[in-house]
Amino acid sequence: MSGTLRVLVVEDSDIDAKLNVAALRQAGHQVEFERVDAADAMRAALVRATWHVITCDWAMPGFSAPAALTLLKESGLDIPFIIVSGTVGEELAVDAMRAGAHDYVIKDRLARLAPAVERELRDARTRAEQRQAAADLVASEARYRRIVENTNQGVWVMDVEGKTTFLNQRMAHLLGSTVGDVMGRSPTEFIDIEGSGRLMSASDVHKAGASNQEEVRFVRSDGSFIETLLESNPVVDAAGQYAGAFAMVMDITDRKRAEASLRISEERFRCLWESGIILIAITDIDDRIVDVNEGLERRLGYSREELVSGHMRWSDITPPEWMEADRNAKEQLQSAGVAAAWEKELIAKDGKRVPILSGAVMLGGVEAIAIAIDLSERKRVDKALYERMKSSALTADVGVALTHQDTLSTMAQKCTEAIVKHLGAAFARIWTLEPGSSVLELQASAGMYTHLTGAHARVPVGQFKIGMIAEKRQPHFTNDVQNDPRVGDPAWAAREGLIAFAGYPLIAGGDLVGVVAMFSREILTDTALEGLRTVADAIAVGIRRNRAEAAKESLEAQLRQAQKLEAIGSLAGGVAHDFNNILSVILSYSEFIKSDLEPGHELLGDVEEINAAALRAAGLTRQLLAFSRQQVLQPRVLNLNEVVRDLKSMLRRLLSEDIELEITGDPMIGNVHADPGQIEQVLMNL
């Protein structure tokens, strides 16, 4: 052998050990050896190093060849064991070889040692190769069994009669059964003939002589079905004779379901494509329209040829204000493959806008499919509902204003604010017409104009659009303010962006009580006009009721004042009568005293003062009697300046302390013939 021959020499004689090694070296071997002569030493040597061959003496003190052979077997090592002894007989040598020794050499014939070692080394290599081959075979079988058992496909083996001789756990699982239940049975027992058609039998496979692939539906033990793809192959023996069939079975149930789902999806998509309910367009990466369905053609008014000519792009039918939304959707498509639904508009062939809810999905990275729902009807319904809600809210707010506000101006202001809020008016105004008047007076204004002064503060009936509405008692509305002949300043309307106008006469109980009007920057719908008409009727009734309540309050105040004056008059009359009696006595006695006094008497002046004061007091009582209407009328020529001057003190008492009374008489005024008490009563009533 090439390389160093490592020899473990079990020998108690060092000389004999060296003779053994010398014989091997003489045969051309490079030898490394170790001599041991006891069991422990041999055991340690076997563990410590690798040995190619062991030479062993038959008998040694405390050790022997049979004991060494036993120790070698216990180690599990396959090392050639050659007995080299001078005392062993042929019979013992044969027994030793039966016990496991590989050869024996007589010490005086050491020339045989090298050939024996070389032969045993060859045999050892052969045994090692055989063991390796056997191990490889076992490993291979285990590996292939693991493959068979762990594969996701079923493996089914049948003999020449078609009976099952092997199947893996996967196949048993596919059948919903056990390996033991299937063994010995024909695969045809598990096949759904109606769902699979004719399955090749074992003889068919034999006749075909080649593999065959077909779809097979098996019936599982629980009665459910499993769809499979079965590939069968013939199996031949060493002599080339047909020995059965081998099948690989793949579960394609999910694939079949997916195919069925795909067919259903394709059918659904075809129905959607052809129905026209959904608007569908397919575009390439350059935004060119490559396909559309009939629904999109019909809704936009284009022919298919116009849309898919190769010149029409999605952006060509998109309004400028929606370009940004489309760019965002395109970014989503490129990054995620799908664009979330977004609202936008399309431009029809006639220029009209078509509101849609659109979504898009990438197709293969080169095309995108846009699917849209026409929102026109929904928008119309939503707008109508929203307008009805606004009208209801307007009616409610106006109702609150009409029932919770005290003054006419406050009530009207709240109503105009409600019109601006709920009808989107640029501004709204209310004019009122007083009974017997021919001029409408501006009571309230809300929105862009809130002032109550200016050219429209007082509008004569029959003039301007407001006065014409009042004169004709007919509403007027337009959604083209700038071309309305009733609008006096079209340039102002254009500058303010005003589009629509609506005005209604306020009529209650057949009487015109005012006009309500509004301007808008948006088109007024029928719903909005109806809402304004409804609140106009309510406002008219509210104005009439407010006036009636005001008149009622005025009459009640006058009644209270009259009752108060009547009570005061009664009191004043009683007081005046009593004072008249007292004053009559004072005047009489003062006259008596005057008649008894000589002219120039020192008391005469005092008596005259008493008499004058009594006369003034009598005049005051006369006024009180006139106020209480208990004095007989005595007309005479009067100077009104004097009457007013004499009444000044009483007027001061009737007025509040916070009011300063100043009387300026006209020196050129003429005299009148009247009862002074009645004139004084007139002045006090004023």
Summarised one tens digit per residue, pLDDT across range 252-294 is 989 988 988 888 988 887 887 877 788 888 998 888 999 998 8
Could you tell me which residues are beta bridge partners of residue 219?
A: 225
Rounded CA separation 223/292 (Å): 47
SS3 state of residue 127:
helix
Rounded to 10 deg, the angle between the 604-627 and 526-596 helix axes is 150
pLDDT category at 69 given cuts 50, 70, 90 is: very high
Rounded CA separation 168/172 (Å): 7
- Structure tokens belonging to residue 210: 């080649």
Is the pLDDT assigned to residue 458 strictly greater than 80? yes
User: If you write DSSP's letter for every residue of 424-479 in order, what string do you get?
Assistant: -EEEEEEEEE-TT--EEEEEEEEES-----STTSEEETTSHHHHHHHHHT--EEES
Minimum mean pLDDT range among 285-294, 324-333, 657-666? 657-666
Report whether 461 contacts 477 (CB < 8 A).
no
Report whether 78 contacts 124 (CB < 8 A).
yes
Is the pLDDT assigned to residue 64 strictly greater than 80? yes
Q: Which residue bears the tokens 């209270």?
A: 560
Is the pLDDT assigned to residue 199 strictly greater than 60? no
The pLDDT score that the predictor gives to residue 631 is 55
pLDDT tens, residue by residue, 556-598? 777 777 677 666 666 666 676 677 778 777 878 777 787 878 7
As a three-state string, the secondary structure of 45-78 is HHHHCCCCEEEECCEECCEEHHHHHHHHHHHCCC
Q: What is the CATH superfamily name and number for domain 280-374?
A: PAS domain (3.30.450.20)
pLDDT tens, residue by residue, 383-428? 778 777 877 888 888 888 778 767 888 888 888 999 999 888 999 9
pTM: 0.45
The pLDDT score that the predictor gives to residue 269 is 78
pLDDT category at 636 given cuts 50, 70, 90 is: confident
Minimum mean pLDDT range among 74-83, 282-291, 657-666? 657-666
pLDDT category at 643 given cuts 50, 70, 90 is: confident
Q: Tell me the CA distances in angstroms from 254 to 152, 154, 257, 430, one per residue in order.
A: 14, 16, 5, 75
Q: Which of 237, 216, 236 is nearest to 154 (CA)?
A: 216
What are the backbone dihedrals phi and psi of residue 597, each rounded to the nearest 5 degrees, phi first?
Answer: -95, 140
Burial 541-562 (b: 16+ CB within 10 A, else e): bbbbebbeeeeeeeeeeeeeee
The pLDDT score that the predictor gives to residue 573 is 64
Percent of the chain predicted with pLDDT > 90:
25
The pLDDT score that the predictor gives to residue 209 is 61
Q: In whole angstroms, what separates CA 31 from the centre of its chain?
A: 89
Is the pLDDT assigned to residue 680 strictly greater than 80? no
- Beta-sheet pairing, 476-478 with 500-508: antiparallel
First-last CA distance in the chain: 157
Q: Which residue bears the tokens 């609008």?
A: 487
- Beta-sheet pairing, 53-56 with 4-10: parallel
Percent of the chain predicted with pLDDT > 70:
89
pLDDT category at 43 given cuts 50, 70, 90 is: very high
Q: Which of 86, 120, 148, 103 is nearest to 1 (CA)?
A: 120
Average pLDDT, the chain: 84
Report whether 282 contacts 292 (CB < 8 A).
yes
Per-residue DSSP letter, 189: G
Mean pLDDT of 128-137: 81
Domain limits, CATH 3.30.450.20, in the chain? 151-258, 280-374
Q: Which residue bears the tokens 């006058």?
A: 558
The pLDDT score that the predictor gives to residue 569 is 62
Report whether 39 contacts 89 (CB < 8 A).
no
Minimum mean pLDDT range among 306-315, 331-340, 519-528, 550-559? 550-559
The pLDDT score that the predictor gives to residue 685 is 67
- What CATH class has 4-132? alpha beta
Mean pLDDT of 445-455: 89
The pLDDT score that the predictor gives to residue 407 is 83
Rounded CA separation 676/30 (Å): 175
Is the pLDDT assigned to residue 208 strictly greater than 60? no
pLDDT category at 473 given cuts 50, 70, 90 is: very high
Mean pLDDT of 469-485: 91
- Structure tokens belonging to residue 539: 């406002």
Rounded CA separation 17/22 (Å): 9
Q: Which of 382, 376, 354, 378 is nearest to 281 (CA)?
A: 354
- Structure tokens belonging to residue 10: 């079990």
- Structure tokens belonging to residue 363: 């197709």
Rounded CA separation 432/437 (Å): 10
Decide which of 3.40.1190.20, 3.30.930.10, 3.30.450.20, 3.10.129.10 is the CATH code for 151-258.
3.30.450.20
Is the pLDDT assigned to residue 535 strictly greater than 90? no
Rounded to 10 deg, the angle between the 408-423 and 526-596 helix axes is 170
The residue that leads in pLDDT, 135 or 27, is 27
The pLDDT score that the predictor gives to residue 653 is 63
pLDDT category at 600 given cuts 50, 70, 90 is: confident
pLDDT category at 135 given cuts 50, 70, 90 is: confident
Is the pLDDT assigned to residue 1 strictly greater than 60? no
Domain limits, CATH 3.40.50.2300, in the chain? 4-132
The residue that leads in pLDDT, 116 or 320, is 320
The pLDDT score that the predictor gives to residue 288 is 92
The pLDDT score that the predictor gives to residue 633 is 62
What are the backbone dihedrals phi and psi of residue 513, each rounded to the nearest 5 degrees, phi first?
Answer: -115, -5
Q: Name 403's Cβ contacts closer than 8 Å, sequence gap at least 6.
A: none
Q: In whole angstroms, what separates CA 28 from the centre of its chain?
A: 94
Rounded CA separation 618/339 (Å): 106
Q: Fold for domain 391-631?
A: Beta-Lactamase (3.30.450)
Mean pLDDT of 213-238: 89
